[in-house]
Amino acid sequence: MDEVNYFMNVTGPEHWIIFDFETTDFIWNVLIWMRNYWWKCFYYTAIYLVVIFTGKLYMSNRPKFDLRNALALWSGLLAIFSIIGTIRTMPELFHILYNHGFYYSICSNSYYTHDNVCAFWSSLFALSKIVELGDTVFIVLRKQPLIFLHWYHHITVIYFTWYSYALLMGTSRWYIVMNYFVHSWMYSYYALKAMEIKPPRFIAMMITTMQLVQMVVGFFVTGAAYYYIKIGEKQCHATTFNAACGLVMYFSYFVLFAMYFYKAYLSGNSRTKVE
């Protein structure tokens, strides 16, 4: 596929191993589908909201399901997926920063056009946002508190991820690596909790802190892309609308996660669960 790319003099990291499935046409098939149908995420999330709130109403007068074994398996598989995703995408980000600098890491989409490994796991990352909606099913069936932060975060992540993927935004390399990394810790924590292994309280605080840091870095990176566009950097693979959406999204996440951090760990009614 011919893809517009303004940064031709680039080499990706030398992966110590590349699997055959990481070099198939899957990455381009997903991209083509996203470019034509990314907007369907609005339909999917509408169904999601109807299902979870109808389910919450349905469960209101019924006993909760235990589902610990199923939750442990679910969280464990997502933890493994996130760990592998981190291992396969993080080297590209470090390579670009070290060899080409911050501007390149923000504006070039070479993570997709010049690195099949990173492109493959970026494709899976975008698709996984639909799979992760299953987290809410466990909350509903186990009759746990369904807070605004949880479902708002899930649906807006899908909107922004799919839209950014369809445009192949340069900033996406940052979003993908950060999210994979944080989810590696978060889903591992969930899996341990489901297996009735109780990690120290500071682990939960550390994960929420990492989420807050992720929002700060995401806001900064998105703001940098917005700045480069505004000063006339035509080679920057980003758009003002996408960047503006990202800034609003990351700011709202930071506020909500900060409020959660205070309620969960600092107030008198603190809890240990990480949302």
Q: How confident is the model at residue 15 (pLDDT cuts 50, 70, 90)?
A: confident
| Tens-place pLDDT, residues 154-181 | 999 999 999 999 999 999 999 999 999 9
Q: Is the pTM of this model over 0.85?
A: yes
| Tens-place pLDDT, residues 188-240 | 999 999 999 989 999 999 999 999 999 999 999 999 999 999 998 778 999 99
Question: What mean pLDDT value characterizes the chain?
Answer: 92
Question: Among 69, 99, 94, which residue's Cα sits nearest to residue 196?
Answer: 69
Q: How confident is the model at residue 263 (pLDDT cuts 50, 70, 90)?
A: very high
Q: Mind spelling out the 3-state secondary structure of 82-148? A: HHHHHHHHHHHHHHHHHHCCHHHHHHCCHHHHCCHHHHHHHHHHHHHHHHCCHHHHHHHHCCCCCCH
Identity of the residue numbered 250? Y
Say yes or no to pLDDT of 52 above 70. Answer: yes
Q: How confident is the model at residue 35 (pLDDT cuts 50, 70, 90)?
A: very high
* φ, ψ dihedrals at 37, nearest 5°: -130, 15
Q: What residues are annotated to the active site?
A: 153
- pLDDT reported for residue 2: 40
DSSP 195-226: TT----HHHHHHHHHHHHHHHHHHHHHHHHHH
**CA–CA dist 129, 167 (Å, integer):** 17
**CA–CA dist 225, 237 (Å, integer):** 9
Say yes or no to pLDDT of 258 above 70. Answer: yes
Break the chain into its structural domains and give their ranges: 41-266
Mean pLDDT of 61-90: 97
